[in-house]
Structure 1
Amino acid sequence: MKRDSGKKDNRSTAGEPDAAQASPAPSAQAAFASYAAPLVADAIEFAEAVREDTSPEALHKLRVSLRRLRSLWWAFEPLLKKEENTRQRALFKFLATAAGKTRDWDILIELLAHEDSGAHEIAPTFQEARGDALAVSRETLANADVKHLLREALSGASKELNTAHERVALRKFATRRVDSAKRSLKKRTKRASRAKRSDYTAFHDVRKAGKKLRYLLDFFAPVLKGNCKRTVKRLKQIQKRFGALNDVVASEGLLREHAASLAGSGDTGAVLAWFRQERKRRLRTAAQLLRKR
């Protein structure tokens, strides 16, 4: 490469690309692995930790990492084969559900431990049920061979994207996918704001759409134009309030599902009554947040 002669010349050196050409904007296809590989590594680490660590935190981290993977595969859906993408996302959901079965008991136990719910007599039975669920979660995750499945998913998607003939700029692609997630959240928020309080599904859809958008912003915020802080703040509010509602609804459902096995352990009727009241209260606070949008 020729040294600078000292003369100012705005033209590129003959035969050499200028700075913009030398550092082309990254493509979405090339960037995929940089997003996916760390998530896969985390999920594998957390899955292995669950074999030894029985704490609620270990299961929570595993479930979150799998949800983030599912959102990433959704983000890259337009660039991947539809059937394979759908299969992989279903796989991530299956593994997250396996971890979630134990996590659901953790949430129920935590909810009732700090409230005047009348659950003190049943608490030992809850812990026993949680232990049984953990055994099932561990067996399911071990039989699934999480490490192999996730590495295979990463390898397959990366190969498909790296061998694609077309390329799309990462910023352009990220903007489109974030905009799509925003439209989905707006649509579901509008539907929930008009829904009856008994229509929990409408509120749950807002939570899922908000969580997906939050994950996408976590991935793509550095390459997007503008500042996402205000949107992220709003999404955190949604996740906190709607997550609290979901915890109660899911725990109530879990208790009803196992009501027969809990019979004789304590006053399950009083606990269910507490859940009904708490669900109504949290539905009101969730609805209030929608009105502030």
Structure 2
Amino acid sequence: MKRDSRKIDKQAADTQPAGDGLSAEAAFASYAAPLVDHAIECANAVREDASPEPLHRLRVSLRRLRSLWWAFEPLLDKGGNTRQRALYKYLATAAGKTRDWDILIELIAQDESIARKMTPTLLEARGGALAASRETLSNADVKQLLQEALTSASRELNTAHERVPLQKFVDKRVAVSERSLKKRMKRASRAKRSNYTAFHDVRKAGKKLRYLLEFFEPILSGSHKRIMKRLIQIQKRFGALNDIVASEMLLRDNMGLLAGSGDTDGALQWLRQERKRRMRAAAGLLRKL
């Protein structure tokens, strides 16, 4: 994952503008094109490789695209931008369905007695999800959708009458994202431990801000190393919590499918205990930050 992010960032850096005297409208394609190319590359890999990694890379790539479109939201048609971001979310969700089974399988494997009986059924369900993901992504024609989105947004921005200085624009958008994260962290720190939604909102806001810093760090005013360090901590701790919550929900939603495949009650009990432990860990991190 980290190697993949560095690869994307390096590709983007080769084409991204320095920022001096450049407008945000003119710079958009330099940020978007490498991300679109990478997402198309990942979508092609999914068709050829059934392992978890290509689907994970595709989902991450689509999330980065969604964050970039959010960053340029003030300069784009509101309705079109909303629809485009919804499309990225839809495609990412399609890729994520198989990834969710992979995570559940990895977690269940930590208890050998449960995994021995349950894993074959989980793998069968994972195969069905993979087939559905591939069909959805194939029917969607990811390459055409993403190329059309890039062309449409670039045309809209290139024909805009007004021009906004790039550095001023990205400074403002990153500041908006930072305020959003702080607001959600404050809300989560006061929330009850049963209120997972508040913790999930922190994770999403943190991920968006991290993507923006990765996009725009070379031209942002001031240093953001400290906040980036915090974001990495948030993503790791809150991501681990999300894995458990998503796996518990997936198992509960498929009890009928998994009936007779092993000790599902034991698996749910282990996941529930692990969720509580990871919730405490996430709350502890909030107190430190």
Q: TM-score range by the shorter chain?
A: over 0.9
1:128 to 124, 141, 144: 124
CA contact (8 A) 1:102 1:130 kept: yes
How far 1:116 sits from its partner (Å)? 5.3
Q: Deviations over 1:266-288 (max 9, x none)?
A: 11000000000000000000000
Q: Structure 2: which 5+ residue stretches go unaligned?
A: 1-18
Equivalent residue for 1:105? Answer: 101
The whole-number CA distance in structure 2 between the counterparts of 1:135 and 1:256 is 22
The whole-number CA distance in structure 1 between the counterparts of 2:71 and 2:137 is 25
The whole-number CA distance in structure 1 between the counterparts of 2:163 and 2:135 is 42
The whole-number CA distance in structure 2 between the counterparts of 1:94 and 1:279 is 27
Matched, 1:244 2:244: no
The whole-number CA distance in structure 2 between the counterparts of 1:100 and 1:24 is 39
The whole-number CA distance in structure 1 between the counterparts of 2:287 and 2:116 is 37
How far 1:24 sits from its partner (Å)? 5.6
Matched, 1:34 2:30: yes
Equivalent residue for 1:180? Answer: 176
Q: Deviations over 1:242-286 (max 9, x none)?
A: 000000000000000101110111110000000000000000000
CA contact (8 A) 1:117 1:271 kept: no
Equivalences for 1:268-287 in 2 at 5 Å?
A: 268-287=264-283
The whole-number CA distance in structure 1 between the counterparts of 2:113 and 2:246 is 16
Equivalent residue for 1:259? Answer: 255
1:216 to 208, 212, 217: 212
The whole-number CA distance in structure 1 between the counterparts of 2:143 and 2:243 is 29
Q: Deviations over 1:197-249 (max 9, x none)?
A: 00000000000000000000001110011111111100000000000000000
Q: Which SS does the other structure have where 1:118 is aligned? A: helix
Q: Deviations over 1:24-58 (max 9, x none)?
A: 61111011001100000000010011001011111
Q: Deviations over 1:13-33 (max 9, x none)?
A: xxxxxxxxxx96111101100
Judged with a 3 Å threshold, the aligned counterparts in structure 2 of structure 1 residues 129 and 24 are, in CA distance, closer, same or farther, namely closer
Matched, 1:199 2:195: yes
CA contact (8 A) 1:188 1:205 kept: yes
Judged with a 3 Å threshold, the aligned counterparts in structure 2 of structure 1 residues 115 and 234 are, in CA distance, closer, same or farther, namely farther
The whole-number CA distance in structure 2 between the counterparts of 1:140 and 1:274 is 33
The whole-number CA distance in structure 1 between the counterparts of 2:284 and 2:113 is 25
The whole-number CA distance in structure 2 between the counterparts of 1:24 and 1:238 is 32
Please, what TM-score do these two structures have when normalized by structure 2?
0.92
Q: Which moved more, 1:206-215 or 1:218-227?
A: 218-227
Equivalent residue for 2:45? Answer: 49
Which structure is larger by alpha-carbon Rg, 1 or 2?
Answer: 1
CA contact (8 A) 1:119 1:268 kept: no
What one-letter code is carried by the residue in structure 1 that aligns with 2:52? P
What one-letter code is carried by the residue in structure 2 that aligns with 1:218? E
CA contact (8 A) 1:117 1:274 kept: no
The whole-number CA distance in structure 2 between the counterparts of 1:286 and 1:173 is 32
How far 1:111 sits from its partner (Å)? 1.3
How far 1:118 sits from its partner (Å)? 2.2
What one-letter code is carried by the residue in structure 2 that aligns with 1:210? G
Please, what TM-score do these two structures have when normalized by structure 1?
0.91
Judged with a 3 Å threshold, the aligned counterparts in structure 2 of structure 1 residues 277 and 139 are, in CA distance, closer, same or farther, namely same
Moved over 2 A (4+): 114-120
Q: Which has the higher helix share?
A: 2
What fraction of aligned residue pairs are identical, expressed as a percent? Answer: 73
The whole-number CA distance in structure 1 between the counterparts of 2:110 and 2:270 is 13
The whole-number CA distance in structure 1 between the counterparts of 2:176 and 2:111 is 40
The whole-number CA distance in structure 1 between the counterparts of 2:110 and 2:26 is 48
Q: How many residues align?
A: 271
CA contact (8 A) 1:62 1:96 kept: yes
What one-letter code is carried by the residue in structure 2 that aligns with 1:258? N
CA contact (8 A) 1:117 1:270 kept: no
Equivalent residue for 1:63? Answer: 59
Q: Which SS does the other structure have where 2:117 is aligned? A: coil
